[in-house]
Amino acid sequence: AITRHYKFDVLSHNVTRLCHTKSIFTVNGQFPGPKIIAREGDRVVVKVVNHVQHNVTFHWHGIRQIQSGWADGPAYVTQCPIQKGQTYVYNFTIIGQRGTLFWHAHISWLRATLYGPIVILPKRHVPYPFAKPYKEVPIIFGEWFNADTEAVITQALQNGGGPNVSDAYTINGLPGPLYNCSARDTFELIVKPGKTYLLRFINAALNDELFFSIANHTLTVVDVDAIYVKPFNTDTILITPGQTTNVLLHTKPFVPTATFLMMARPYVTGLGTFDNSTTAGILKYDHPNSSLTSNTHKIPLLRPSLPPLNDTSFAANFSQKLRSLANVQFPANVPQTVDKHFFFTVGLGANPCPKNQTCQGPNGTKFSASINNVSFTMPTTALLQAHFFGQSNGVYTTDFPNQPLIPFNYTGTPPNNTFLNNGTKVVVLPFNASIELVLQDTSILGAESHPLHLHGFNFFVVGQGFGNYDPNKDPSRFNLVDPVERNTVGVPSGGWVAIRFLADNPGVWFMHCHLEVHTSWGLKMAWVVMDGKLPNQKLPPPPSDLPKC
Ligand code: C2O
């Protein structure tokens, strides 16, 4: 194993898409940002220098951060932000993961433009559990807003405005030919016939889950969230913000007389406005006789067909197919017993509108989102520091409810009073506790799928279903043998999902909906995992350059 050094200079840079030029925050002037590449077992050291007039932090989404909680990155959770002119060095080791993850800014909505791939190769001389691909290609989905990022945030947050709608989806930063003024900004994948390509998909979009297909080509899913899965074939993948998916693409044995569109567009179950546009890229075969690839021949351009926008049964089927390898080399260490059980409702709601303001939520209320009726308030100092130095007083309280305060019919007619509590509430877990968490979607403002992301852990998705979770019946059908292991799971629209994880990583770990607008409205909370007794079970002290609030 080696140490890999990166330098991230946060800079403003002018970027043009859809004929709109705007100044965006970038890493090293690149959009999307630079790729981090490492092998399992390597140490990664990223020196961040902030040159812009905005606080920033970075999160290494899906990296377990075992005993390196100070490098996790969510602002006011594990660190205070890096201010203009300041430097912070993120330092972590990649343990037990191989596949694709990504990094993104983790403050306000800056991940709109500050994101890039993390490629984790297996240890040297350790092969993939599938044939070695001819080439590997990261493909990262994003959203482009013509408006300035700050204006986008303000619109969504002021008085609980409606979710902000992007102007395009992007593939590796490019909207593609289906948008006006965008044909030149098209991602092209040029392939050779008869080869296998490993495509590393990342959904870095702010607010939308995406379906993706390539015309006339089947995809073989082999890895999600940097954990191998049992391979299966599909025409379409579903990928939520915060998820990554590795697929094998077997190209046709001979150069076909067509080019192929690849397309992504949203999976949406909620109410309200959203960007229902489609981003496209082009899959082209490299002809040995290059004159034939020029456009003198009018060769057909084929389009894939994608599931309907609200195809929840596709979503449920797709997630049912995801299974851990669960073999000798890659065992699935699913907790077989449970020390602590939690039942969390996740959903949208409404709060009273502040005096003298007009709010855009239902009946003039203010949009809000919550877990167990608690809408999380961000503290003004980092939770991890407060925890480590024993100064939690006035920063957070440890009374996060382990079930809803007042149970109701979650997927039926909502109760009349859905006003929420605000607070910075956490759950404290003893070291090595085995946790079962049922996440129940609520339909207070319409049933909606929520991609829940847990920092610091992978979890096993042991069960899922529609309607209300039934504690007497559902656990008997849990899969404790080969459930998928991941860091972000879609809580099904009008249903529930059950996950298990082992609290073996001391620190403070954020959990939130990876739809940025829902996080902003309060769909987030934090787990505090205590130190174990042995020296290698303790959170080390903070690095000396940890930023101050
Ligand atoms: Cu990718 Cu807390 O997020």
In the predicted structure, residue 346 carries a pLDDT above the cut 60: yes
pLDDT of residue 294 exceeding 60, the answer is no
Tokens standing for residue 502: 């082992």
Question: Ligand 1 centroid vs 363 CA: distance in angstroms?
Answer: 32
Q: What is the pLDDT of residue 153?
A: 82
Q: Convert the pLDDT of each residue in 119-150 to its tens digit.
A: 999 999 999 999 999 999 999 999 999 998 88
What DSSP character marks residue 524? E
The count of other CB atoms within 10 Å of the CB of residue 134 is 13
pLDDT digits (tens, 9 = 90+) for 438-447: 999 998 887 8
pLDDT confidence of residue 368: 86
**Who's near 1: CB < 8 A, 6+ residues apart?**
39, 41, 42, 43, 93, 123
* C-alpha–C-alpha distance, residues 77 and 519, integer Å: 13
Q: Which H/E stretch holds residue 149?
A: helix 149-157
Q: Ligand 1 pocket by C-beta < 6 Å: which residues?
A: 59, 61, 74, 104, 106, 242, 453, 455, 510, 512, 514
User: What distance in angstroms lies between residue 502's CA and the mean position of ligand 1's atoms?
Assistant: 20
Distance CA 324, CA 321 (A): 10
pLDDT tens readout for residues 23-65: 999 999 999 999 999 999 999 999 999 999 999 999 999 999 9
Tell me the CB-side half-sphere exposure of residue 478, using CA atoms within 13 A.
25
Q: Does the structure show a pLDDT above 60 at 516?
A: yes
For residue 269, give the amino acid letter.
T
Per-residue pLDDT at 152 exceeds 60: yes
Please report the atom of ligand 1 found closest to the CA of residue 241: 1
Residue nearest to atom 1 of ligand 1 (CA): 61
Q: Which atom of ligand 1 is nearest to the CA of 242?
A: 1
Residue 257 burial class via C-beta count within 10 angstroms: exposed 0-12, middle 13-18, buried 19 and up = exposed
Instruction: Looking at the CA of residue 510, tell me the nearest atom of ligand 1.
Output: 2
DSSP 467: S
> pLDDT at residue 292 above 80?
no
Ligand 1 centroid to residue 271 C-alpha, Å: 24
pLDDT tens for residues 475-502?
Answer: 999 999 999 999 999 999 999 999 999 9
Quote the CA–CA distance of 204 and 243 in Å, as a whole number: 8
Which atom in ligand 1 lies closest to the alpha carbon of residue 512? 2
Q: Which of 439, 431, 455, 428 is nearest to 509 (CA)?
A: 455
Whether 417 shows a pLDDT value over 80: the answer reads no
**How do residues 447-466 score in pLDDT, each as one tens digit?**
889 999 999 999 999 999 99
Could you tell me which of 97, 32, 87, 30 has the C-alpha nearest to residue 64?
97
User: Considering only CA atoms, which residue is closest to atom 3 of ligand 1?
Assistant: 61
- pLDDT tens-digit map of 95-121: 999 999 999 999 999 999 999 999 999
ipTM exceeds 0.85: yes
Average pLDDT over the chain, rounded to whole? 94
Task: Classify 445 as helix, strand or coil.
Answer: coil
Note the pLDDT tens digit of each residue in 170-183: 999 999 999 999 99
**Count of alpha carbons within 13 angstroms of residue 235, beta-carbon side:** 8
Q: Atom of ligand 1 at shortest distance to CA of 519?
A: 2
Whether the link from the prior residue into 451 is cis, omega within 30° of 0, is no
Higher pLDDT, 152 or 210: 210
**Which pLDDT tens digit goes with each residue over 519-549?**
999 999 999 999 999 999 999 999 999 999 9
What CA–CA distance (Å, rounded) separates 519 from 80? 18
Give 417 Cα–ligand 1 centroid separation in angstroms: 31
Instruction: Please enumerate, as own/partner, the contacts of 122-130 that have beta carbons within 8 Å and a separation of 24 or more.
Output: 122/39, 122/40, 122/98, 123/1, 123/39, 123/40, 123/41, 124/39, 126/40, 128/222, 129/222, 129/228, 129/325, 129/329, 129/330, 130/220, 130/222, 130/231, 130/248
473 or 368, which is more confident? 473
- How many angstroms does the Cα of residue 217 sit away from the middle of ligand 1? 31
Tell whether the model's pLDDT for residue 362 goes beyond 80. Answer: no
Distance CA 528, CA 94 (A): 22
